[in-house]
Chains A and B, each alone.
Chain A
Amino acid sequence: MTKADRWLVFMILLSGMLAWAIHGYMSRETSTEIYAVVKVQGEVRKEIKLTEGEESSFVIEGKTGPVMIEVRDKKVRIAESSCPQQICVRRSWISAPGESIICVPNEIVIYIDAPAPVDAITR
């Protein structure tokens, strides 16, 4: 191995390490704040920052009628819904990253917008 060869090997190794470092830095999670996102018929209607001790509730118009959403202690739920089977109300509180409440008749999705431990959930 000549001196130039050693240089080349060193450079390639160094560049690889640097690229990995930059890649890791660019794809790091930038925020620790947790938001609940409310979508109606594909459109984001509300983004709620989940904070300790904060309580609120509001009514949103779904496809079949009004839906009441409640926020309490970093959790969200659909408290009342105009849908027939009440699957969304029974889903109750969500708080963990990746969790969601779906009301099919009203075309409403509420999800916790933060990096989740899994890519998806089968149910």
Chain B
Amino acid sequence: MMMSRKAIIAGVGLVFLVVMTYGFLTSETGHEYESEQFLMDTLVSIKVYGKDAVVLEKATAEAFSEMRRVAALVDRFPEKGTSAYEKSDICRINSQAGIEPVRVEEDVFSMLKAAQEYSRLSEGAFGITVAPLLDIWGFGKATQKVPTAEEKNEALKLADEKKVVLDENKQTVFLQEPGMRLDLGAVAKGYAVEKAAEVLQEEGIKRAMINAGGNIKVIGENRENSSWRIGIQDPRDPSGIIGILDLKDEAVATSGDYIRYFEEKGIKYHHLLSLETGYPANMNICVTVISPDAGEADILSTMLFLLDSEEALDLAEGIEDTEAFIVTSDRRILHTSGLADKLEITAKEGYYYD
């Protein structure tokens, strides 16, 4: 029997429609490109999706070079006389403490401004003048030790945010006291992630994830056309996840007592030091902050970690578009009300929550 002409047309039409629809389904996520680099003392991975593989690769390379540029500006440890030292605004500011103001890049100026604002909000527990204190404890160096009370008090005397003088017009920074030093460890990674995200978006990228050792920014939706699912690591079991966040066009960062620490006489000391006591803050185990801006998420996660848990929660509730997830030192899980619809708590035994 001969097939009717109608059936042939219908058949061809069907194949055509299937191909078109399939093409539509895969067009946005057509290509995936992923690249990793060690940067800012962590592993940075950038994953991008789009139609044009060449654009993806180029955008990723530019995002990485933007992050390297920011990293070079804030590096505190290059040796004097090297080109890395010359490129670092932070080294130049620190070396001129008590001598004269130093003109800095716009990036550094805006990081310092943000840090000052959050230091005020924390009523002095958080600050970027923490460098002498970090050095006395040995964080960032080869060996760590608990400082003597005298050493600690000397370092705390140099930690005074009011003596960091910013001149908006001249874009200069002046540390008023000789020996004062800045450390942007709680600020720069998030800022660099945000700048990298801006670069990707300027290049037309609609879907991407930048992950700098847990400082994460997502652009658009994930490959499955839904929110990105970001797990919050269980602070007492690195294989476990205590919560899952559903995020779109948002950033997240976590500060915890379980990554960078050392032990002395059986006691653990982590690197999130309070400028009020000079010791590691011990009110919380970890604080995760969700914000549209990766820079804000990074600073706030450290800043809130240094505060009393309830106080930290209240503060986060008061900041628009910003949410916090807190595990207190007595293992209670607290979170801001706005998280209810994008958080699934998966904590097992050992944690308490409503």
Contact = CB atoms under 8 A, between A and B. Distances in A.
Interface in A72-108: 84-85, 87, 91-96, 98-99, 102, 104, 107
Contacts of A41: 38
Contacts of B38: 41, 104, 107
What DSSP secondary structure best describes chain B's contact surface? strand
B209 A119 contact: yes
A96 B233 CA distance: 13
A117 B241 CA distance: 10
A1 interface: no
B239 A123 contact: no
Given A11-B10, A122-B288, A123-B254, A20 B229 contact: no
A98 B214 CA distance: 13
Interface size range of chain B in the complex: 35 or more
Contacts of A102: 42-43, 213
Most chain B Cβ neighbours within 10 Å, of A20, A96, A118: A118
A84 B143 contact: yes
A41 B36 CA distance: 9
B13 A42 contact: no
B35 to A, nearest CB: 9
Contacts of B163: none
B222 A123 contact: no
Given A7-B10, A14-B14, A123 B22 contact: no
B216 interface: yes
Given A11-B14, A121-B232, A122-B214, A19 B21 contact: yes
B25 interface: yes
Contact of A120 (B17, B42, B209): B209
B37 A94 contact: no
Contacts of A59: none
A119 B228 contact: yes
A14 B228 CA distance: 31
B36 A119 contact: no
B21 A15 contact: yes
Of the candidates A19, A23, A84, A95, the one having the most CB atoms from chain B within 10 angstroms of its own CB is A19
Given A102-B43, A109-B43, A11 B233 contact: no
Given A95-B239, A118-B241, 10 more contacts: A11-B13, A15-B17, A15-B18, A20-B21, A117-B229, A119-B230, A121-B233, A122-B232, A122-B254, A123-B232
Interface of B: 10, 13-14, 17-18, 20-22, 24-26, 36-38, 41-43, 142-143, 209, 211, 213-216, 218, 222, 228-233, 238-239, 241, 244-245, 252-254, 256, 259-260, 262, 288
